[in-house]
Structure 1
């Protein structure tokens, strides 16, 4: 059995590209930063950037790609955000339409990727302090919830 926690991020991304990893990445590549991803057309990118800037606790911004670039050069210069995530949820006009393992065919030259901090990043310090993490122990996704705490507005992005 592979110990994913000991693999380097580049190795994890390669396994994802081969679709050998197809689920949540909790506990993988311990000690390294993991990110959530939002991809928008350039026409909406500034509004979302402003939303992240105004709401750094909800959307801690780690990197933003250049328009049309699928490489997050600041944090993972060998990554390809079109292929390096186990599953992508595609929304059109705010409505979930499908889930796919690779978005290369959906990529357009005016898209901008936003990498946002992920709760998986602080798993290692918790584990090193002897605090068990249930979703890792049970090999399932991290618990999530909806909140009624409002975010600060920015352009078309008005929070929950």
Structure 2
């Protein structure tokens, strides 16, 4: 089973996200991550969906998505050179004595501290999934209080469009 990234241009209308995610659920496909936001065109949004399956499953997903009324364009961008990033906030226990050690890890990962509390830090890390996973694992021994991730967003490199 392989991971695929699908870019979907949709009308910015209420219920579109629910119809797209419902299609995956009805077909028994899992969504590993989904991000949605404004696109370059007013009134349109772009979804980045990461899912797993074989080539036949992805072709079926693309066909089914194209049948939805508010879907304008569906492109599997996994085969193209692409830039893909995810964002995570990690709130970690950070007593004064541990902060230099934690800040060393933060610096190594080119992450940043975005909030400092009396007993905690919130770290922002941006990168590919593996980088986020590695940062989370390194923060576990300090005590992760809270964690949130955006899911992946991606774009085809260079002069190519979705």
Tell me the TM-score normalized by structure 1. Answer: 0.29
- Higher relative contact order, chain-length normalized (CA < 8 Å, sep 6+): 1
Name the structure where strand makes up a greater proportion of residues: 2
Tell me the TM-score normalized by structure 2. Answer: 0.29
